[in-house]
Structure 1
Amino acid sequence: MTPGRPGVARAPETLPVIHGEDVHGRRMPVFADRDRSLVDMLERSRAHGDRVYLVCDGRRVTFAEHYRMVAALAGELRDRYGVGPGDRVGILAANSIEWIVTFWATASLGGIAVAMNSHWAVGEIAYSCGHVRPSVIVADERRRERLAKAAAEWPAARVPMLAIESDLVDIGAAPGAAESPGVRLAEDDPAVIIYTSGTTGKPKGVVHSHRNLIAARDFYRYNDAAAAAAGAPQSERRYLMTSPLFHIAALHNVAVPRLDNGETAVIATGRFSVDRVLELIEREDVTHWTGVPTMAHRLLEEGNAAGRDLSSLRSFSLGAAPTPPAMRAALRELLPQATSSMVATYGQTECATAATIATPAQLAANPRSVGRAAVNTQIRVCDDDGVTVPDGVEGEVCVRGAVVMLGYWDDPEATARTIDGDGWLHTGDIGVLRDGELEINSRRSDLIIRGGENIYPVEVEDALDTHPGVAESIVFGSPSAEYGQEVAVVVVLRDGAEADHDALRTHLAGLVAGYKIPSSWTVSTEPLPRNATGKVVRSAFT
């Protein structure tokens, strides 16, 4: 057993009460007994004391230590950089204890944490700086180099910076009692900006409120209570974090709920490695792990569980991309002790957590099901005019509830296109409801989902078009057993231009994140096929 585990955090014995309240002027299901801000949650976390909250690269941080670190950093952000309610604090770093501390310190001041994608290239970093105009950026060493390059080329990127390896190394170490600022906040004050790929070629900043993150936590609170009521064992739970913190899978669904529940988050660092993950599960007695299908594929292909004691793992679920039924069946054979908890969920960044959840029994009856609406969420399927379609008829999936984002940062037009006047989030996904269970028939037509990362082709196409030798291009997804989809491209060169895929790849490297760079290239001089209106026939490539 791992040291530093006094006591056991337990799920509530009774189901939380859900009732209707007005949210943004519309009646929605919410938890009656809930926190009103992340500050409330942070203050209550002090009661967990010497229990371990975070494990990362051999370090262990208790809830008491975490609170002191948060209070100390909040004071630094406030006193040195003037961070207060509504101010943005960028976080540009790989997963770490300091990433999470920065998030909570920003929230305690009423600021807005900006979860910058740690894979971003220099140009993407500069765009985000100009987009949200942070008061300060907390960055690790590897990203500081990119930030410096961005600042040299774009004035908007010349932002004050705190270095994780030096400025935060002893944060909270000073003796004496520490108190967080304790700012009073409203439920619908913004708390975090999470970037998602944009249909117009630039990433969109999804704004989640304190209400959104608390609703995400309450999703787990209800499920934990339901499991306890059904007789599920309530021994200590330890959650493995393998997704990046700039995704809701890690921040909203691991870091935040664990602080509230007094449970441990075990942070895997570096590139995903099956051997390292299996070693962490065994050494840290991990009980719960939510991954993406790419991780599951590697686990099945590369995983050598022989000689490993994985008996602690009793829950394994997948999100971020569709999971083939055959993969789920193979996982049940590999991890039989987690079979009863292998669920499927549906959601997107614009929701703070899963909008639906399918139980193992539902998946056994219908492998295409993504389940029923979560208890604090409403689901409907509508036609092109926004009218609800009958049961069994295909249409666009719409979501409403306390988990739905406030909107896109500084983009009211895109927000209005996505959230209608009745508060329904139009996902762009096509599905069907059958007796309350949702099936997803297709994703947004152009979207590529590579290893759980969303990529809109126009992002890559726009970057390619800045090369002087490129006349036009089309980017699309191609099937991949490992990643679900890979990025493929057909590039048409201008007359007389000479450029091979290596030169074009180098050009892209400074403009888009590495995972967006195509793995399959076709370089041609033949124009792309177009329809009668002049639009490229994208279906010819997919």
Structure 2
Amino acid sequence: MTDSFDLQAYIATVTAGLTGPGKRFELVPETVLGAEIPVMKTRDRSLGDVLAASLAYGDRDYLVTEDRRLSYAEHGAAAYALATALREKYGVEPGDRIGILAANTPEWVVSFWAAQALGAIAVGFNAWWVPREIEYGLTHTRPAVLIVDAKRAALLDGLDVDIPVLTMEDDLPRLIAEHAGAERPDVSVAEDDPAVILYTSGTSGRPKGAVHSHRNLLAVIDYHRYSDALLAAFTGGDPNSTAPSNLRYLLTSPLFHIASLHNLVVPRLATGGAVVIYQGSFDADRALGLIERERVTNWGAVPTMANRLLEHEDLSRYDLSSLTSFALASAPSSPAFQQRLRDKLPFAANALVDSYGLTECSTAVSVASPLDLQAHPGTLGKPIIGVTAEIRDPLGHPVADGIEGEICVRSPYVMLGYWNDEAATAAAITADRWLRTGDFGVIENGMVRLTGRRSDLILRGGENVYPVEIEQCLDEHPAVAECAVVGAEHPDLGQEVTALVVTRPGHSVTEADLQAFTADRLAYFKVPTRWRLTDEPLPRNATGKAIRTLIVV
């Protein structure tokens, strides 16, 4: 008689073998920014150290595009050359901001790592911003240098930009060539020094700059190392091996998002894997062609991209046998949608994972494995290593298992705060370093389930859109008396931005007028695509607040 296999017991044994005393991923309590949290006992101390160590990977692929290939050695040499140029020609010092405003390119990545080599702070501006938004970002973080691609350089015309602007097409290759052979800059960096600022939409109507420290990103690196070790343990490999990884990752989200920067570009430099960068607007055939050509093993796609694959006429034209991990990222998806993916996509049948995370956390809060999703449809899995998650009531008190409340988390991944915004930081992070996510859910059997996003948030194709920013923009139009923006279901994007506009008496305006007005002032994904113009006032509650649930467009 064969004994039954206890999977949970096996997982617990493997985990203990990796995280226990004296083990590679041993967790120990340390005081970080005034709060005691679990951290890896053996860890790197700066991103500059990670860059220096990556040179040992030599000729292995680090960055790959459809027409370029950059090895670890080439990347490291370019990053050091650029860092030296920024220091010697432009006076960039530790703590200075280096703005990056561009589409996905190898130069984006080189610029990021050059900033880390200098102990500077890389600021990933949203490449879809329009001039007014760019102007806000530059004023907000005041970078010492701005690095742009040609398309964004053109958007700067007419703006009062009083800092050096370097183009990726012309200036960076010249500077890198001029300083070829440069050594690693000698700088001192502390773990809790800022390393990067990424913008997230704000409920106040302005984007907020989430500040991530070296500790945050180094913890993300160790989380991915740990995940790779678990995979090795479950597939017959050596979980303690430090040999370079043979995994190859397809990058399809913008580099100014944590999905691509923090959870692909940064950890893969530490593990020796390859990052295959998809460039341009998403086209399923081009993406599938890259997967086939580069033997991609891992892909994290937003649901909109996954939906395009469902609509594809003939996936059998491509050899996708290398793809063994397929993750949904950036936006929630329904169990029914996940099942359609399993039914249609061969690589999703036993590889589909889902997760819950936010910019303020640097990486995932929780991850649901294929087994989790099959056994518990709708789950977002258990908190990842190092994360403590609680559900709290409106007074901030933890609630019992299965009771809905606000998801709160504490971990070495939680951001330092919002750049230049003490009030927003204090509202989001408690004195003992708990992050109030603003999202609502339950924890059942240790697993997180989301029940509601931030009250007004619209999730359009993986992008977070807050109505108040659009409403404030529309309020500037002379024909608009008041307005409300909500999300409406969309079969491809998840939600589309919809606007109910109450027009002023005596003013004439069309949907096309308002669409053009917002398109000039906001990134394209924030521009409403459905409109309703009326002279009836918005439905409001007793306090005068618009009741969004009663708004129909």
The equivalent residue for 1:422 is: 432
Mapped partners of 2:301, 2:180: distance in 1? 40
Paired residues of 1:237 and 1:286 also in contact (CA < 8 A):
yes
Mapped partners of 1:67, 1:301: distance in 2? 40
CA shift for structure 1 position 15: 5.0
1:212-234 Cα shifts (integer Å, max 9, x gaps): 11111111111111111122568
Mapped partners of 2:542, 2:324: distance in 1? 56
The equivalent residue for 2:143 is: 134
CA shift for structure 1 position 160: 1.6
Asked if residue 118 in structure 1 is aligned to residue 104 in structure 2, the reply is no
The equivalent residue for 2:418 is: 408
| Structure-2 change in CA distance of 1:406 and 1:275 (3 Å) | same
The equivalent residue for 1:203 is: 207
The equivalent residue for 2:189 is: 185
The number of residue pairs the alignment matches comes to: 526
CA shift for structure 1 position 169: 2.6
Letter in 2 for 1:128: G
Asked if residue 479 in structure 1 is aligned to residue 483 in structure 2, the reply is no
1:230 to 214, 228, 234: 234
CA shift for structure 1 position 284: 0.8
Mapped partners of 1:383, 1:175: distance in 2? 56
| Structure-2 change in CA distance of 1:335 and 1:515 (3 Å) | same
1:30-79 Cα shifts (integer Å, max 9, x gaps): 11111111011001001001111001231111111001100111011111
Paired residues of 1:343 and 1:358 also in contact (CA < 8 A):
yes
Letter in 1 for 2:202: G
Query: Aligned to 1:102, what secondary structure does the other structure show?
Result: helix
CA shift for structure 1 position 441: 0.6
The equivalent residue for 1:456 is: 466
| Structure-2 change in CA distance of 1:144 and 1:381 (3 Å) | same
The equivalent residue for 1:329 is: 339
| Structure-2 change in CA distance of 1:212 and 1:175 (3 Å) | closer
Paired residues of 1:355 and 1:374 also in contact (CA < 8 A):
yes
1:436-465 Cα shifts (integer Å, max 9, x gaps): 111111101100010110010001000111
Mapped partners of 1:270, 1:414: distance in 2? 34
Paired residues of 1:274 and 1:303 also in contact (CA < 8 A):
no
Mapped partners of 2:230, 2:56: distance in 1? 24
Mapped partners of 2:276, 2:384: distance in 1? 26
1:70-123 Cα shifts (integer Å, max 9, x gaps): 011101111122111111111010000000000000111111111000000111
Query: Aligned to 1:476, what secondary structure does the other structure show?
Result: strand
Paired residues of 1:447 and 1:457 also in contact (CA < 8 A):
yes
The equivalent residue for 1:35 is: 44
Paired residues of 1:69 and 1:171 also in contact (CA < 8 A):
no
Alignment of 1:148-227 (within 5 A): 148-149=157-158, 151=159, 155=160, 157-173=161-177, 177-227=181-231
Mapped partners of 2:317, 2:543: distance in 1? 62
Alignment of 1:3-18 (within 5 A): 16-18=25-27
Asked if residue 83 in structure 1 is aligned to residue 83 in structure 2, the reply is no
1:412-455 Cα shifts (integer Å, max 9, x gaps): 00000000112110001111111211111110110001011001
Mapped partners of 1:450, 1:217: distance in 2? 28
CA shift for structure 1 position 176: 6.2
The equivalent residue for 2:14 is: none
| Structure-2 change in CA distance of 1:175 and 1:499 (3 Å) | closer
The equivalent residue for 2:526 is: 516
Letter in 1 for 2:53: R
CA shift for structure 1 position 506: 1.1
Greater Cα offset, 121-130 or 340-349 = 340-349
CA shift for structure 1 position 337: 4.0
Letter in 1 for 2:391: V
CA shift for structure 1 position 523: 1.3
Paired residues of 2:501 and 2:531 also in contact (CA < 8 A):
yes
Mapped partners of 1:171, 1:266: distance in 2? 25
CA shift for structure 1 position 164: 0.7
Asked if residue 467 in structure 1 is aligned to residue 477 in structure 2, the reply is yes
Mapped partners of 1:272, 1:402: distance in 2? 33
The equivalent residue for 2:9 is: none
Mapped partners of 1:236, 1:120: distance in 2? 36
Mapped partners of 1:272, 1:497: distance in 2? 40
Paired residues of 1:275 and 1:304 also in contact (CA < 8 A):
no
CA shift for structure 1 position 373: 0.9
- TM-score, structure 2 normalization: 0.93
| Structure-2 change in CA distance of 1:176 and 1:321 (3 Å) | closer
Paired residues of 2:24 and 2:42 also in contact (CA < 8 A):
no
Mapped partners of 2:170, 2:397: distance in 1? 56
| Structure-2 change in CA distance of 1:102 and 1:176 (3 Å) | closer
**Which ranges in structure 2 are unaligned for 5 or more consecutive residues?**
1-16, 239-244
The equivalent residue for 1:311 is: 321
Asked if residue 296 in structure 1 is aligned to residue 281 in structure 2, the reply is no
1:394-418 Cα shifts (integer Å, max 9, x gaps): 1100010000000000000000000
Letter in 2 for 1:220: H
Query: Aligned to 2:173, what secondary structure does the other structure show?
Result: coil
The equivalent residue for 1:354 is: 364
The equivalent residue for 2:74 is: 65
Asked if residue 488 in structure 1 is aligned to residue 498 in structure 2, the reply is yes
Asked if residue 143 in structure 1 is aligned to residue 147 in structure 2, the reply is no
Letter in 2 for 1:279: G
Paired residues of 1:49 and 1:62 also in contact (CA < 8 A):
yes
Fraction of identical pairs, as percent: 50
**Which ranges in structure 1 are unaligned for 5 or more consecutive residues?**
1-11
Query: Aligned to 1:16, what secondary structure does the other structure show?
Result: coil
Paired residues of 1:16 and 1:225 also in contact (CA < 8 A):
no
CA shift for structure 1 position 310: 0.6
Paired residues of 2:78 and 2:180 also in contact (CA < 8 A):
no
Alignment of 1:503-542 (within 5 A): 503-541=513-551
Letter in 2 for 1:528: L
Paired residues of 2:124 and 2:256 also in contact (CA < 8 A):
yes
CA shift for structure 1 position 338: 4.6
Query: Aligned to 1:343, what secondary structure does the other structure show?
Result: strand
CA shift for structure 1 position 333: 2.9
- RMSD value, Cα: 1.6
Query: Aligned to 2:30, what secondary structure does the other structure show?
Result: strand
Asked if residue 257 in structure 1 is aligned to residue 267 in structure 2, the reply is yes
Letter in 2 for 1:57: E
Letter in 2 for 1:24: L
Query: Aligned to 1:444, what secondary structure does the other structure show?
Result: coil
CA shift for structure 1 position 393: 0.7
1:237-258 Cα shifts (integer Å, max 9, x gaps): 1000000000000000110011
The answer to which structure, 1 or 2, has the higher relative contact order (CA under 8 A, 6+ apart) is 1
CA shift for structure 1 position 175: 8.7
| Structure-2 change in CA distance of 1:519 and 1:233 (3 Å) | farther
CA shift for structure 1 position 306: 2.1
Paired residues of 1:315 and 1:339 also in contact (CA < 8 A):
no
| Structure-2 change in CA distance of 1:208 and 1:130 (3 Å) | same
